[in-house]
Structure 1
Amino acid sequence: MNRGTETDGAVAEQAASGRIPLAVVVVDREGLVSHWSSGARRLFGAAKEEAIGYPAVDLLPVSGALPEDDDVSPYGAYAAYDGLGHDLESSLDGRLYYPAAGRARLTVPDRDRVDVLWWAYPLVGPGPERLLVLGADVGRLQQDAQDHDDPTGYERVAPGFALHTDFPGAEELARGLPEILPSMSVDESARIVGQILELGYPVLEFSQNDRVPVTPDWGVPRRVERRARRERAARAAAEGLPLAQDDADTAEDLEYAAVRERLEFLNEVSGRIGTSLDLSRTIIEVSRAVVPRFTDVAGTYLREQVVAGEGFPEGVPDTTTMWHRVAVEHTDEPGRWDDVVPVGEAMPFPAHTPFFQCMTTGDPVLVPRISEEMGHAIASQFEKRDIRPLITGRSMLVVPLKARDVVLGFMILLRHPERPVFNDMDRVTGAELAARAGLVLDNARMYTYQESVAETLQDSMLPHIPPRMAGCDINTRYLPGTLLGRVGGDWFDSVKLPGARTALVVGDVMGHGLNSAAMMGQLRTAVQTMAALDLPPARLLRNLDDLAQRLGDTYLATCLYAVYDPIAGELHIANAGHIPPVLVRADGGHSELLDLPTGAPIGVGGVPFEAVRVRVEPGDRIVMCTDGLVEVRGEDIGVGLATLCESAAHPAASMDDACDTIIRSLNTRGGRKDDVALLMARLNGIAPQDVAEWRLALDPVEVGRARAVVREQLHDWGLDRLADSAELMVSELVTNALGHSRSRPVELRLVRGDTLLCEVDDDDHDLPTLLNAGPADESGRGLRVVSVLAREWGTSRTSTGKAVWFELTLPRR
C-alpha cells in the first residue's frame, strides 16, 4: 500500500522524528531471562526481580501472530511478516536461527487487550546471550496517530528489518544502537551490536516503500539536557532565585545524575584502556584516558619489577622501593613538565609523603590543595629541580594501581587551581578507575613476563649455527610472530655427520606459547640425537613420530630433514607435512620447488615416510623455511610459494643479502602473524682431488702404512706443517680402531676444505671416551693426545659401526 495522503506523510514524518518506548529482553541458552529492562516491566507487568532467571515463555504471554482477517483485524500490511516463519512463542523456545518480527497480542488477565510489535534477534558467540527481543506497544503508536488526527495511519504499521546502510544516517544509528542493549562489557556489547547490524536494524514499515528506523526512548533526558538543567539549577541556587519545576526536579536529582555521569565516565575509560597487551602502550592508554576530562595532569609510577618484566612483586613497598616514572600526561604547554619530571626516572619516596601513604596502605590519598609547606616537602626529593611552581595550589589525588591486593604502582592526579578541587566522589571514582587500570596493567605485565620467559626459552633452544660446514655455507633468519602469544615452535638446525656430510633441519610445532616452545626444544634435541646416530632421513622422521606419540597427542609438528653429501653431490631429503624446499640452481640461476612426498605431520602416527635423492652441483642453494613466511590469511599459499621461488632466485652479493631479499619480498605483503624460521645453504661441494680414502686390513702393520700415506698426501696438498700432528693422531686412532674392529676393514679418510678433516671408521658400535691414564697404564692416552692437538674432535655412530674424527686448522698461505 502506498502512502499518498498528506496525513500519512505527516504521520510518517512524526514517527521518523520521534522515539518509541521499547521493552528489551535478553534470553540465555537455557531459555531463561538474563536481562529485563524497565520498558519490559511496564509492558509485560513483571518486575525485574520476578523476571531475571525465570523462563521467558512464562513471562511473555504472547499467543502468536494476530490472524489476518479483514473482519476482525485492521492490520492490512501484516501478512508479509507471517511468512518469516516464526512467531514469538516458538522463538522463545530456542528454535530461532534468523531474525524474525511480528505483531502479537498479550494475554495478560485483568488488562485491556495489548497489541505488541516485536523483533527477535538470534545471538551467537561465547557469551550466554542467545536471543534479544525488542517489544513496542501498538496502542501507544495508535494514540500518537490519533493525537495527529490520523486514526488509521498507524494501524497499517508493521515491524521489519533493514540493513543500517539503507539509511542516510547509518553511522549515527550504529553508534546509538548500544543504548538498547543491557549493561555489559565493551567486547560483549560490540559483538552483539555487530550481529544486530548484520541481521538488520529494526524498522517500522508503513508500506512497501516507506521504512522508518526505530529509535529507542527511555523516557529520560539525554546527557546534554541533564547537564544544562544542572547548570541552570546551580546558577539559581547561587543567585537565590526560585527554580522552574524541571530545574527543581533536576536539583533534587543532582546526586543521582552525578553518579550516573561518573559511571558513564568509568565505562568510557574502560573501553579505551586495555586494547593491547603491550605494557608500554597500556600505560599510555591509562594516562591519556583521564586527561583532561577527569584531571589536568596524570603521572604514572610503577614498581621496578613491573617495568623490568619480572615476576609478581612481593611484599609491602617501603622507603627503599624504586618507582619508575613511566608516563606523564598533562594539558600544560609542551615541555613544561618534561625537564622537571622526565619519563624514565626512578626514585624512592620518603615516608612523610602522600605517595608513600598511598603505596603502603593501598588506599587513595586526597589533598584538596597542595600548600606551600607540602609543596616544599614534595619538592625536596627532586635534586636541582624546583617542582613547587608546578604543584603548589593544585588539588591532588593519589590512587594506587593494584592487582590481587598488591600495589603495582600509583597515579598522581593534579587539577589546575581554577578547576574544582577533588572531592570524596572523585576519590571513589579515582579508586575505581585505578582498580580497573591496575587489572589491565597486571594483564599486560603477566603477558610481558610470560612472553619474556617464552622468548628466553626459545632463544636458548634455537641453535647458533656456524656459518661454514664441510662443503656448504649456511645462513639463517628467525622472525617472531605478530600474534598475541607470538612465541612459537619454529626451529632450524644443522648437524655435522660422518663423511663430511651435513644434516639440515627445519621444523614447526603447531601453536604458540610456552608449551609450543618447550615441545620444539624436545623435538630439536631428539633430531640432534638421532642425526648423531646417522639414521637415514625417512627412519629418523619415523622415530621422531614415535617419540611424539609417547610425549602425548597435544601437539603436532611438521619437519623437513635433509642430508647433504658434498663428496657425492646429492641431497637425501624426507618430509613430514612441511612445505617443500626451494632449490636454486647455480647454472642459470633458476629456482624450483622440490617435488617431495609430503608425508604426515609428526605426531599423527602410523604413517610411513619416504625419502628422495636429489643431485646437486657446486654453487646450488637450498632454501628451507616454515609456513609463516609464505602463508598469509585470505591468500592462497601458492602465491607465497611462488614469491619465495622468485625471491630466492634473485641475484645477491652474499648469503646475508640473499636471506634479506627473501624476507623483504615476503614480509612486506602484510598479514603475516606466525613466526618464521628460514635456513639457506649454499652447497659448495668438495672436489674429488680434495678427498683421499684408504682401506686398512685388520693387521697391526697397517698402522705404519696409515702414517706413511697421511704424510705423503699432506705433502701433495702442500700441508707439510700439519704432517707431524696429523700423523701422530692418525696413528692413535687407527691403533684403537684395529683393536676394536671385528671383521670389516678400517677406513681412513682425509678431506681438505676450510679445515683438514680426518675420519677413521670401524665396525664397533661402542663409542670411545676420554680416560685418565695413570703412569703404569698401557692404554687410555690416545684420545687425550687427540683432544690436545686437534682443533675439534668427536665420535659418532654410523650405520655399520662408529666414526672417530678430528679437524686441524689449515695454515695461512
Structure 2
Amino acid sequence: MVVVDRDGLVSHWSTGARRLFGAAKEEAIGRAAVDLLPVSGALPEEDETTSYGRLASYDGLGPDLETSLDGRLSYPAAGRARLTVPGGEREAIPLQGRRRVDVLWWAYPLVGPGRERLLVLAADAAGFGPDDPDSSNEDAAVERIAPGFALHTDFPGAEELAGRLPEILPSMSVGESARIVAQVLELGYPVLEFSQNDRVPVTPDWGVARRAERKARREHVARALAEGRSAPADLVDEVEDLEYAAVRERLEFLNDVSGRIGTSLDLSRTIIEVSKAVVPRFTDVAGTYLREQVVAGEGFPDGVPDTTTMWHRVALEHTDEPGRWDDVVPVGEAMPFPAHTPFFQCMTSGEPVLVPRISEQMGHAIASQFEKRDIRPLITGRSMLIVPLKARNVVLGFMILLRHPERVEFNDMDRVTGAELAARAGLVLDNARMYTYQESVAETLQDSMLPHIPPRMAGCDIATRYLPGTLLGRVGGDWFDSVKLPGARTALVVGDVMGHGLNSAAMMGQLRTAVQTMAALDLPPAQLLRKLDDLAQRLGDTYLATCLYAVYDPIAGELHLANAGHIPPVLVRADGGRSELLDLPTGAPIGVGGVPFESVRVRVEPGDRLVMCTDGLVEVRGEDIGVGLATLCESAAHPAASMDDACDTIIRALNTRGGRKDDVALLMARLNGIEPDDVAEWRLRPDPAEVGRARAVVREQVHEWGAARLADSAELMVSELVTNAVRHSHGRPVALRLVRGDTLLCEVDDDDHELPNLLSAGPEDAVGRGLRVVSMLAREWGASRTGAGKTVWFELTLPRR
C-alpha cells in the first residue's frame, strides 16, 4: 500500500511495498511515485491539475461516469506491469542485484482536506500463468484493464466474469449481494468497503507458515548478532513487525473472547459461552470441569483440591464429527482425578499445564480414569493445554484444550494466552457462581418466610401469588398468611414492610411470626393490630409496615376485619358477580404508634370471594392509585374456572402495566361457608352426669353423618374433654359442638382460662391420661383462650363422601 500526495510524491510506503518493489521506506518517502510505481497513467499531467479539483465533488465511492470516460483521467485506475526492481529473495534477506516482478496495481483518488490524493494498492501477480504480460518484452508497458470488469468496457470475458461475481462474495443476504454486484457492473467502480463478521478457524499464532517465517527471521537476526555482525535493518524491522502482529492478534483474540463471555449471570449459559469462545479459533476440543460445589451453587472448604474432590464435566465443545465424544465423555459426569495426572497438577498448582503431544503412555494413563471406555483414540497424538479456572486465588475448575494432531501444537505463547483466557473466564464464572449462590440464598429465605398455605381451610378455598419486585433481590417485605382458629374460623393476613431487600425480609419474618402467635391466642382483629404495633415500636424505629387482618367465620357467614394503613380488600359477590372495595377505617401503619385501630363486620354469602393484595400490584409510579384499584375490582370480578385462574387473571391485568418496581403479594379466598346441617351444638350442665349424655349425642350424630367408623374414637375423646371441662368449670354451662367439613371437628368450651397441659402419667397416677389419648387418636388437636374461658378441640379425618 502506497499513498501519493498532491505533488505526486510518496508519503506512505508500507512493509509490503518494500518487499514487492525492493526499495526501503527511507528511500521511497518523498520520491516521485512514477519513479517507483507503474502509475504514470493514473497521475495528472502538468496541464491537468484542474482534474484534481473535480475529485472534490466525488461521492467517495468513485468518480461520476462522465469523468471516468473523459479520456484524460480514469479513476479508479488499474493495470498490470512487469518491472525491474532492486534484487532480493521474496521471503528472506535482500540480496544484491536486480530482479523482475509481475505486479497488479490499482489506484484510487482520496477526497479530503489533507495533502494525500492517491491510494495505490499493488499485489504480486506471479503465478497467474497465461495472463502474464509477454516475458520477452523487457519494456512491457502498463496494460490497462477495466475496474471491476464493468460491462461497458471491451475487456475480454467480461460476461463470464460478471456471472461469477456473486460466487466470490461472502455469505450475505440476497439484497446486499445484488446491490454490490449491480454497483460493480453498472457503475464501473468497486465497492470499497462492507462489513462481514465470521469466525475463522485459525490459531492466534495464525498458522504454520507464518510461525515458520517469523522463526526463520528471528534465528537469522540472532545468528548475525552472535557472529558479531549487524543484521540488516529491514530484516530487523520485519521481525519486529511479525512479533508485533502476533501480539496484536493475540490481544484481539482475548478481547474478542472477553466480549463473548459474561453476557449474563446465568451459570449454565456462562459455561457454554466460555467453551464456544475458544473453539475452533484457539483449540479443536474444549472440555470444562467445575467443582461439585460450584455447580450446586454452594460454598466449599478452604485449601487446594485433593484426590477426593469431585469434578463435574459441565461442557464439551469440539470440531469432530457429531456424537464422537458424547458417549465416551458425556456432559454431566462427575469424577475425581488421581495425583499422577496432569489435571491434578493443574488444579493443585493453579498454573497451566502444557503437554506438546500426548504420547501413547500418557494416553493410556489418562484413559485408565474412564471405566469401560477407551478414550485413547480421541486424545493420543494431540497437543493438550490444561488451564485453571480460578478467581480470588481459588480454583473453581479447569479447561482441557486439545488440538488435532495435524494442527500446530501448543507452545509457551499459547500457554500465556490460555492462562489469560482462563483468568478472564474464571472471574466471569465466579461472578455467575456468586450470583447463583446469592439467588439460592434469597429464594430459600423467601420460601422460608412465605407460608405454604393449604388450598382448603374450614369453609373456604385459598389461592396465593407472590412476585418479587426485582430479579436482583427476589426477597422483600410483602407477605400473606392464613391461621386456623377455633370455631372453624380462619384468619387471613396480608402485610407489607416498607422497603426492599434482606432487611425488609427479616422484619417481615418477625412480624409474620408475631401475627401467627397472636392469632393463635384468638385476639380480636383490632386488638391484634394494637399488640403488633406495640411490638414494632419495641423492635425499633425502622419497623414500619401496613397490615390487613381478617377473620372469616363460615358458620356465622361473617368477616371481621381491621386495617393498619393497608389498601382495602375487594369483595366479589357470588350473586351477580359484582365487586366492591370494602370501606374500612384505614388506621396508621404498624410501628407509628399512638393511633387506635378499629374493626368492622361484613356479612358474606357462600361463594363470595375476598381479594387481598399489597400496593405493589395496584400502584404505578406517576399514576393515580385509584386507576389500579379500579382495574383490580374489574379483573377480580372476571369469571374464572378456578381460583388459580382467577389469580392469574388479576396478575395479567395489573402486572402488564409498566413501571412496577415493588413486590406483590396476592391472597384470594372463596368463602364457601358451612351449611347449618353440618353443624351440631349442645349445652351441657357442669355435672359429671352430662358426660354420658355427651357420648350418646356424639355417637348418634356421627352415625347420622355417615361416619360410623369414627364413632368409637369420637365418643372416647369427647368423653375425656367433657370430663375435664366439667371438672374445671366455674358454674357456666359447657358447650359441645361438632362441625362436618373436610374433617370432623369437635370443640368443647368452658369458662376456665387455664389451658390444659399434656402430661406423662405413670402407672399409679389417677389423672393425666385424657389428653394423651386425644393426642394419639386425633388427626390434630389444640387449645386456645377465648373471652369467656378456653376452647379445646380435635379433628378426625372423615371418609370421602
TM-score by length of 1: 0.64
Note if 1:447 corresponds to 2:440: no
Task: Describe the shift of the 1:786–1:350 C-alpha distance in structure 2 as closer, same or farther (beyond 3 A).
Answer: closer
Q: 1:563 aligns with which of 510, 533, 551?
A: 551
The offset of 1:548, in angstroms, is 3.1
The superposition leaves residues 27-77 of structure 1 with CA deviations (integer Å, 9 ceiling, x where unpaired) of: xxxxxxxxxxxxxxxxxxxxxxxxxxxxxxxxxxxxxxxxxxxxxxxxxxx
The equivalent residue for 1:3 is none
CA distance in structure 1 between the partners assigned to 2:543 and 2:255 by the alignment:
40
Whether the 8 Å CA contact 1:287–1:329 is kept in 2: the answer is yes
The offset of 1:408, in angstroms, is 1.5
Note if 1:587 corresponds to 2:567: no
**What one-letter code is carried by the residue in structure 1 that aligns with 2:396?**
L
Percent sequence identity over matched residues?
A: 88
RMSD, aligned CA: 4.1
SS of alignment partner, residue 572 of structure 1: strand
SS of alignment partner, residue 612 of structure 1: strand
Q: 1:620 aligns with which of 599, 608, 620?
A: 608
CA distance in structure 2 between the partners assigned to 1:579 and 1:275 by the alignment:
40
Task: Describe the shift of the 1:554–1:634 C-alpha distance in structure 2 as closer, same or farther (beyond 3 A).
Answer: same
CA distance in structure 1 between the partners assigned to 2:354 and 2:708 by the alignment:
86
CA distance in structure 2 between the partners assigned to 1:773 and 1:688 by the alignment:
40
Moved more, 311-320 or 601-610: 601-610
**What one-letter code is carried by the residue in structure 1 that aligns with 2:240?**
E
SS of alignment partner, residue 328 of structure 1: strand
CA distance in structure 2 between the partners assigned to 1:234 and 1:435 by the alignment:
29
SS of alignment partner, residue 347 of structure 2: helix
Q: 1:682 aligns with which of 656, 670, 676?
A: 670
Whether the 8 Å CA contact 1:548–1:603 is kept in 2: the answer is yes
SS of alignment partner, residue 285 of structure 1: helix
Whether the 8 Å CA contact 2:382–2:404 is kept in 1: the answer is yes
CA distance in structure 2 between the partners assigned to 1:738 and 1:236 by the alignment:
106
Whether the 8 Å CA contact 1:305–1:313 is kept in 2: the answer is no
CA distance in structure 1 between the partners assigned to 2:334 and 2:445 by the alignment:
29
Note if 1:807 corresponds to 2:795: yes
Note if 1:471 corresponds to 2:459: yes
The equivalent residue for 2:756 is 768
The superposition leaves residues 584-632 of structure 1 with CA deviations (integer Å, 9 ceiling, x where unpaired) of: 2111123334344444444455554443322211111223344555567
**What one-letter code is carried by the residue in structure 1 that aligns with 2:391?**
A
Task: Describe the shift of the 1:425–1:512 C-alpha distance in structure 2 as closer, same or farther (beyond 3 A).
Answer: farther
Task: Describe the shift of the 1:337–1:675 C-alpha distance in structure 2 as closer, same or farther (beyond 3 A).
Answer: farther
The equivalent residue for 1:501 is 489
Task: Describe the shift of the 1:643–1:266 C-alpha distance in structure 2 as closer, same or farther (beyond 3 A).
Answer: farther
Moved more, 466-475 or 236-245: 236-245
The offset of 1:556, in angstroms, is 4.5
The superposition leaves residues 560-594 of structure 1 with CA deviations (integer Å, 9 ceiling, x where unpaired) of: 32110112212122234444433221111233343
The equivalent residue for 1:17 is none
**What one-letter code is carried by the residue in structure 1 that aligns with 2:289?**
Y
CA distance in structure 2 between the partners assigned to 1:811 and 1:395 by the alignment:
72
**What one-letter code is carried by the residue in structure 1 that aligns with 2:333?**
E
The equivalent residue for 1:398 is 386
CA distance in structure 2 between the partners assigned to 1:243 and 1:583 by the alignment:
94
Whether the 8 Å CA contact 2:288–2:313 is kept in 1: the answer is yes
Task: Describe the shift of the 1:568–1:395 C-alpha distance in structure 2 as closer, same or farther (beyond 3 A).
Answer: same
Whether the 8 Å CA contact 2:521–2:785 is kept in 1: the answer is yes
CA distance in structure 2 between the partners assigned to 1:415 and 1:483 by the alignment:
41
TM-score by length of 2: 0.65
Note if 1:374 corresponds to 2:345: no
SS of alignment partner, residue 355 of structure 1: helix
Which structure 2 segments of 5+ residues have no match?
Answer: 1-111, 118-204, 222-229
The superposition leaves residues 386-436 of structure 1 with CA deviations (integer Å, 9 ceiling, x where unpaired) of: 434443443322111123333211011233445543332332232232223
The offset of 1:718, in angstroms, is 6.5
The equivalent residue for 1:649 is 637
CA distance in structure 2 between the partners assigned to 1:263 and 1:599 by the alignment:
65
SS of alignment partner, residue 504 of structure 1: strand
Whether the 8 Å CA contact 2:214–2:242 is kept in 1: the answer is no
Note if 1:792 corresponds to 2:780: yes
CA distance in structure 2 between the partners assigned to 1:370 and 1:754 by the alignment:
71
The offset of 1:684, in angstroms, is 1.2
Note if 1:312 corresponds to 2:323: no
The offset of 1:284, in angstroms, is 1.9
**What one-letter code is carried by the residue in structure 1 that aligns with 2:524?**
P
SS of alignment partner, residue 400 of structure 1: strand
CA distance in structure 2 between the partners assigned to 1:712 and 1:233 by the alignment:
100
Q: Aligned residue pairs: how many?
A: 594
CA distance in structure 2 between the partners assigned to 1:671 and 1:414 by the alignment:
50
Task: Describe the shift of the 1:731–1:249 C-alpha distance in structure 2 as closer, same or farther (beyond 3 A).
Answer: same
Q: 1:363 aligns with which of 343, 346, 351?
A: 351
Whether the 8 Å CA contact 2:446–2:474 is kept in 1: the answer is no
CA distance in structure 2 between the partners assigned to 1:438 and 1:233 by the alignment:
29
CA distance in structure 2 between the partners assigned to 1:428 and 1:561 by the alignment:
65
- Give matches, 1:409-428, under 5 Å: 409-417=397-405, 419-428=407-416
SS of alignment partner, residue 272 of structure 2: helix
Whether the 8 Å CA contact 2:214–2:239 is kept in 1: the answer is no
The offset of 1:531, in angstroms, is 0.2
CA distance in structure 2 between the partners assigned to 1:753 and 1:233 by the alignment:
85
CA distance in structure 2 between the partners assigned to 1:376 and 1:720 by the alignment:
75
SS of alignment partner, residue 768 of structure 1: coil
- Give matches, 1:625-774, under 5 Å: 625-627=613-615, 641-663=629-651, 676-696=664-684, 698=686, 700=688, 703=691, 706-707=694-695, 710=698, 725-742=713-730, 744-774=732-762
Note if 1:327 corresponds to 2:315: yes
Task: Describe the shift of the 1:383–1:714 C-alpha distance in structure 2 as closer, same or farther (beyond 3 A).
Answer: closer
Whether the 8 Å CA contact 1:698–1:746 is kept in 2: the answer is yes
Rg larger in structure: 2
Task: Describe the shift of the 1:778–1:508 C-alpha distance in structure 2 as closer, same or farther (beyond 3 A).
Answer: same
Whether the 8 Å CA contact 1:232–1:247 is kept in 2: the answer is no
Whether the 8 Å CA contact 1:454–1:517 is kept in 2: the answer is no
The offset of 1:385, in angstroms, is 4.2
The equivalent residue for 2:62 is none
